[in-house]
Structure 1
């Protein structure tokens, strides 16, 4: 446990530069006294670090010192290679950089960990996009990623589902999210923080104007909130249905037994539920609302007439 903490402390100083004992204690979730002991242990092991007194003081490594990644565990080395998505990096224009980084990481690992990392690439492949439909064409993805990285405002012409179908807007790109094979841009604009599908961007012009992200903004936390809000707006009604055991299994409902199961399920709208429930065929009977039951009955009658001959 302590060995792992010492490696983490060393890497924190290597990546962040000067840090106070209190800052290190907060990152490592230990006491300041423990940090003092760990720093002494690293010094005794020959690590060239020193402390600076005063208000702006703290611990830092001697300029130019870099440690090899021999502190990685087998699981950490596996995770580092498993987390890398070549297709995603290539979309962002970082395919060659990813390959080079993996080569350097592999070279820095001890022989045993190199073998573990190699097994990951031989035995696991991460393919983010869904089964149905081709991958989205995102010609402006690299430009969007560049604006996100450089914190530069852009003007984009964007296609959306409601009128007016095309809009032009100045936005400040905060971050990119890859969700189910589709890229989304989270950006600030005149009406607050909005989410844009990158494949729906028609044109993009970089303005060369730097911006600052609002204090306290966290991309992961914002995305979690966005998804929660989306789900709350997605299912605004419910339907009362009867399901066969197979029908219950297909929509994720626990069957009541070997016969029919009566349950209430959330629905987005009458139109959406009409299409989704028809896919279940004879494994479902809609009891309510009446409008949905009548719509499905009318569709079934039309199909019966069409296939009668």
Structure 2
């Protein structure tokens, strides 16, 4: 029965936005202490329900939160939503709008949009578990002590306030305030060696707005490759710029910054992708490939 009540609590807060522990205790026929225990249980499961003290305070569910799908399988998430729909006789049935929010909460087809999977190369074996710890620290405004791989691989000890998680082409990053150095930093999740949750909470603050960086200098790059390589090229370049040549090969023409990231991507694609231009990129790619060969022969 308690599992059913926990989902009712989520539904109840989605519909009302905020409530007091006393009101919820009356709604579900339990004690105020039980309500707070339920809130703690849901928090431990990664659902950010929190209590605000003082006048105008209450128990709230953070708006816009999407539950990490790693906690439940797709079938389990579907069963949860169906159970909430079918058990209307036990509590006031949720409105269609709330059902839609619940579908989004559990990342069901009605609201599917984001999946975080850090099990690939470049991340530690327990990266998914660490991501959830970091996510929870951001949501609950809890400090953390970390060991971070600094420049040259030297480990840094940092005390920080985790402010925001962000994702871009290069991977996942944490925007944080480092209390020891008194500065804001953006940290790559893949370079966090150790994460130790802190006991202290901090007042929410905003990460300073960054000035738009000037656009990087770009070079027209021309790649040619067989059709069977197309899916891999689409993953790292703009597929709308690919055309077919008369000789049957596919060709990509794109203006991109010529930097280490580009060279790494081309090396990862292997010998199936040929650099037709510029010649300087082709020569640098060949030089790097020879270095790799010499190091491993």
Q: Output the TM-score relative to the length of structure 2.
A: 0.46
Larger Rg: 1
Q: Output the TM-score relative to the length of structure 1.
A: 0.45
